[in-house]
Structure 1
Amino acid sequence: MPAGAERAQGFRVSVPFDFALSAMAARSDTAPARWRKPFLIWLDGADAGWTIPVILLGFVGIWMVYLQVAYLSGDLHPDVLETWSLGRTFAWGSSKHPPLMGWVARAWTSVFPLSDWSFHLMAMTNSAAALWAVDLISCRFVRGDKRIVVLLLLMLLPTYQFQAQRFNANAVLLAVWPLATYCFLRSFETRRWPWAAAAGASAALAMLGKYYSVFLLGSFAFSALCHPQRRLYFTSLAPWVSIAVGLIVLLPHLHWLATTGAMPFSYAIAAHAGRTFDSSLSEALFFILGLAANMAIPAATWVMIAGYRLRRFLHDARSMSSGLRLLFLIAIGTIVFPVLTGIVLGTDVTPLWAVQGLFLFVILVVGGARYPIERFYSVNLTVMVIGIAVIATVIAAPIHAAYRNNYPFEEGRNFYRAASLELTRLWHEHSSEPLPAIDGDENLVLAVAFYSPDHPVPTTASFHKCLGTTCQATPEKGWAAMCFYGDVACNEAMSRTASVVTGAIQTEFVAQSMLLGWPGATRRINAFVVLPCRPEQH
């Protein structure tokens, strides 16, 4: 509809831009350039069912290559190593996190090898699953190009590539939150018990991913209470089936919490509580600003697409469908509830904890627009997303790898593999048995557990609690520890232990970052080895 026609209908809100693209878009849709025609064919397949799988496979493939190249001089992030370590044994919880991320890593490594590329693939597959779950929701409100636009706008976020590669308790929610939202939406709409059961189970799964998901569950309740159809929902069996199934799924974890002293809650309180009111207020402000910054590129892109039609935003919002209204209430809850909780309880809130819910706003903006998107914009957005991915992979990734080879990561991940292999070599100079246990710097502990061929078990029973004891207090099979040079607390504990443990070997070595055979930065590491106790030592 021309801008003049909209003004005639009374939409006189001033919009200071149109970018002179509307006329160009009309001409392009009438007579598209030849280079656009393959993209038009691809867009035609959105509702036919083949376009979405193609875009998701392409997303996984190109960003998988990016991660492989960008981190040639760096090993896996400590969060990923921790995730794998938690999944080595099946458990209903750990001292820091709920169990879902460990379960995912354990299931993945039962099929794929224990390697960097395998975990990069897992991270990108998780992102693709998240985008697929988002499409399940968006296809209930939009068709054709708009389904693709929703996914392309989300691909402009750093969430699904750069943040997702750190597969941890936050990243595991990328797929779980939209899946739980979809099931709740279907349960609210149909009020049938299978969807209600699915909603309860997926909500419980979100809680098993991270307790922060309580804000999603609270948003579900808030949206149901505020929605005009709340009477139909709450007088049906649906909410009560969801609650019952959710509790059944959570019951083993709740039992684990009750019998282990609720260690994750103690960790969370120690790490994030105790803020002053002013500090909590500042944290809440930065939480909102951080989420807005995450959305900056998709938001600016949508402004370019909508142009003068942005004046219709409030009108379209008032006439949104029942399902979109429910999603709107959920979206508001996922932002407001963490902010209020942080301020009232004096805790910090980090934008990274909430990025898995940003898909709600993208669906609302695109799905709520009551006008079609010209193919001109759909093709341009497709080219933009592909271009960014190609530039990142071909140009940015090699530059990142070369830079990090000489200017290493602060957490020391350039040296994890080299240090692990050197410690293992030192151990086997004195023992033919596999290295059984590792202690010391937390990141190095996780690295040795992963990269050492012996895959020792991380432990805190020997190194930090061995002071003033003899060899009888050490594990019978021996153990080892590592500290970065300059880590005063870790090295002092190592020195004290060396003075009282019989047969301890203390040494230091230099680990070096390597990029395709090119030497890079170095870092000194102190190593400490306690060999297995011999009978005469008892």
Structure 2
Amino acid sequence: MTSHSGSVPTSFQRQANSSTHWLLLAYLAVVVVLWTALCAVSHKAPDLDGMEELVWASSLEWGYSKHPPLPSWLMYVLVELFGRPIWLTFFAGQLVAALALLFVYLLGCEFTTPSRALMATLMVSVTMYFSLRATIYNHNTAQLWSIAACIWLLFRALRDDGLSNWLWLGLVAGLAMLTKYSALIQFAVFFVFMLVQGHLRRPAVWKGIGAATVVFLVVILPHVLWLVANDFAPMRYADNSMDVDGGYIDVLKSMVDFSVDQVARMAPLFVLWLALWWWQRRDAAATLHSAQTQTYAQAMSPEARSFLLWVGLGPFVMTLLVSAILGTKLVASWGTTFFILFGFYAFWRLKGSDQVWLRRTAVVAIVLQVLMAVGYAVARGPVAYEVGRMTRSTFPGPEIAAQLNQVWSQHVPNAPLRLVASDTWFGGNVAMNISDDTQVFISADYFQSPWLDPETALDCGVLVVYSPDGRGYWSSELMALFDKSPLQGEFKQQWSSDKSPIFTVKWAIKPPTPNCRPAAG
């Protein structure tokens, strides 16, 4: 790509006279507040991945037992600012999704008008990964912004041949890798695109790749050293998650299931497209306003169209190829970052007035966002409660925590409950509903709980809790700690409404030792 100028804008900053970026920011703010508020009032507990991030945010580490550290660092900052309220994980997920959409808009402004860039951004915002599933703050959702930023920076770097964009690309690519190792798929797509399009024949591109690689390696070096010191634990977890129990038939089934799931998660975008195409067919004369017959895609440069197709479709296609070749299974959520550019694909058909199509796109996008947010909140809140389903959203964490805190106060009246030993989900629900200072001893495993010092962690006592008939993973180390604790008991708890199952909560207390020191004030 070569640098270009003219009527087509080349950056966000050049649009000072346009109101589109303010419209985008307003839309993103409303969407973040809408989803966060509705989930906050409808959920009694966050999802499993969100709870995991809340628990991991107990300390800043260069790596955690299952994943790289960056999403937990962000959660750490949010916890320091707001504590550990229920809504925090929903807010974090929506926040990183909104940031990703901002980079999608910035990319669009490089090769089309601001109105059309906003249009494409609104379109992709209604996909499940940017709406409903953005309430799940995990490493897939947290990677949205960095992958979107990498795509934008690569386009600029290839077009301008400026070293600064390559340096920024190396930095953001390193942050993407510190979020989840699946960033390698996107980087591989970048390389294939540059190879096929002939960019690798230009010395300036190799110079830029070299500079970006140096920055990338500097960013990830501390995590690499942590991996070496900890036997590459997250990579072993990632490898195990891709194992297939059966033969190649199961691999093919996994590929089909993965593809079907992606289509379902893109369904709101398809609904929006159908609405626009229906409008275009119904009143073409009213929307064209002139003899303009050129589609939005035809108005873009051939280089921009190639970039959108290769970089946009590449991750999904390459993932299927890798799965077929290596015989690995696929998990639906791994597709989270694969469809960032799909909003632009409507340009291959749309033509006519920017303002007409932007207005119609905005109306449909807002309606879809409201319907999905309200529907999700109702289904996960009052409906799930009334029918008595054992959903995580209706888990009685506050009630269980109150009973356990009372049990602790009866047996340990002079010391607050600082440590809960359980699995991440159960222990997190207890800890976050007791105090911001109560930590979780995950599965009684110090490697999984690096915020604890093995020499002093149990000095102030520990509450061991699990449910033999509820959700959770109970490790042998946890059960051993339970058996060694002198005070033990249990109580019954109903999951939600009278129609829901009753389960048993077992608890044990290892009392504080004389070495217990008062918590720092």
What's the TM-score bracket when you normalise by the shorter of the two chains? Answer: 0.7 to 0.9
* Match of residue 385, structure 2, among 377, 381, 405: 405
Say whether the 8 Å CA contact 2:46–2:393 is kept in structure 1: no
The one-letter amino acid of 1:302's match is W
Write the mapping of 1:318-357 to structure 2, written as runs, cut at 5 A. Answer: 320-357=301-338
Larger radius of gyration: 1
* Match of residue 58, structure 1, among 30, 36, 57: 30
Write the mapping of 1:381-460 to structure 2, written as runs, cut at 5 A. Answer: 381-392=361-372, 397-398=377-378, 400-406=380-386, 407-411=388-392, 414-431=395-412, 432-453=414-435, 454-460=437-443
CA distance in 1, matches of 2:499, 2:82: 30
* Match of residue 263, structure 1, among 206, 219, 233: 233
Say whether the 8 Å CA contact 1:180–1:199 is kept in structure 2: yes
Query: Residue 90 of structure 1 aligns to a residue in which SS?
Result: coil
The one-letter amino acid of 1:69's match is V
The one-letter amino acid of 2:159's match is E
CA distance in 1, matches of 2:279, 2:255: 33
* Match of residue 371, structure 1, among 351, 360, 364: 351
Query: Residue 463 of structure 2 aligns to a residue in which SS?
Result: strand
Cα deviation per residue 1:503-537 (whole Å; 9 max; x = unaligned)? 6222122345679xx997754312222223479xx
Give the direction of change, closer, same or farther, for the CA distance of 1:428–1:368 in structure 2 (3 Å limit): same
CA RMSD of aligned residues (A): 3.5
Structure 1 position 280 matched with structure 2 position 251: yes
Give the direction of change, closer, same or farther, for the CA distance of 1:251–1:395 in structure 2 (3 Å limit): closer
| 2:64 alignment counterpart | 94
Query: Residue 84 of structure 1 aligns to a residue in which SS?
Result: helix
Aligned-pair CA distance for 1:256: 0.8
The one-letter amino acid of 2:362's match is T
Give the direction of change, closer, same or farther, for the CA distance of 1:459–1:477 in structure 2 (3 Å limit): farther
Give the direction of change, closer, same or farther, for the CA distance of 1:298–1:507 in structure 2 (3 Å limit): same
Cα deviation per residue 1:379-427 (whole Å; 9 max; x = unaligned)? 3332222233344555663454212223244447512232223222211
CA distance in 2, matches of 1:121, 1:490: 27
Query: Residue 154 of structure 2 aligns to a residue in which SS?
Result: helix
Write the mapping of 1:192-271 to structure 2, written as runs, cut at 5 A. Answer: 192-232=162-202, 236-271=206-241
* Match of residue 302, structure 1, among 273, 290, 313: 273
Structure 1 position 506 matched with structure 2 position 496: no
CA distance in 1, matches of 2:475, 2:160: 63
Say whether the 8 Å CA contact 2:254–2:329 is kept in structure 1: yes
Aligned-pair CA distance for 1:55: 1.4
The one-letter amino acid of 1:475's match is L
Structure 1 position 292 matched with structure 2 position 263: yes
Task: Give the count of matched residue pairs.
Answer: 478
CA distance in 1, matches of 2:29, 2:163: 34
Aligned-pair CA distance for 1:497: 4.4
CA distance in 1, matches of 2:268, 2:393: 31
CA distance in 1, matches of 2:201, 2:230: 41
CA distance in 1, matches of 2:124, 2:296: 24
Give the direction of change, closer, same or farther, for the CA distance of 1:490–1:180 in structure 2 (3 Å limit): closer
Give the direction of change, closer, same or farther, for the CA distance of 1:390–1:236 in structure 2 (3 Å limit): closer
Say whether the 8 Å CA contact 2:128–2:268 is kept in structure 1: no
Say whether the 8 Å CA contact 2:54–2:84 is kept in structure 1: no
What TM-score comes out, normalization by structure 2 length?
0.81
Say whether the 8 Å CA contact 2:42–2:380 is kept in structure 1: yes
CA distance in 2, matches of 1:427, 1:257: 38
Give the direction of change, closer, same or farther, for the CA distance of 1:45–1:147 in structure 2 (3 Å limit): farther
The one-letter amino acid of 2:466's match is C
Say whether the 8 Å CA contact 1:441–1:484 is kept in structure 2: no
Which is further off, 484-493 or 295-304?
A: 484-493
Say whether the 8 Å CA contact 2:57–2:75 is kept in structure 1: yes
Query: Residue 61 of structure 2 aligns to a residue in which SS?
Result: coil
Aligned-pair CA distance for 1:352: 1.5
* Match of residue 136, structure 2, among 149, 152, 166: 166
| 1:486 alignment counterpart | 469
Structure 1 position 526 matched with structure 2 position 506: yes
Say whether the 8 Å CA contact 1:100–1:209 is kept in structure 2: yes
Cα deviation per residue 1:27-54 (whole Å; 9 max; x = unaligned)? xxxxxxxxxxxxxxxxx99655421122
Say whether the 8 Å CA contact 2:50–2:136 is kept in structure 1: yes
| % same residue | 19
The one-letter amino acid of 1:62's match is L
Say whether the 8 Å CA contact 1:65–1:393 is kept in structure 2: no
**Gapped regions of structure 1 (runs ≥ 5):** 1-43, 464-471
Give the direction of change, closer, same or farther, for the CA distance of 1:408–1:241 in structure 2 (3 Å limit): same
Give the direction of change, closer, same or farther, for the CA distance of 1:319–1:233 in structure 2 (3 Å limit): farther
Say whether the 8 Å CA contact 1:146–1:366 is kept in structure 2: no
CA distance in 1, matches of 2:105, 2:348: 15
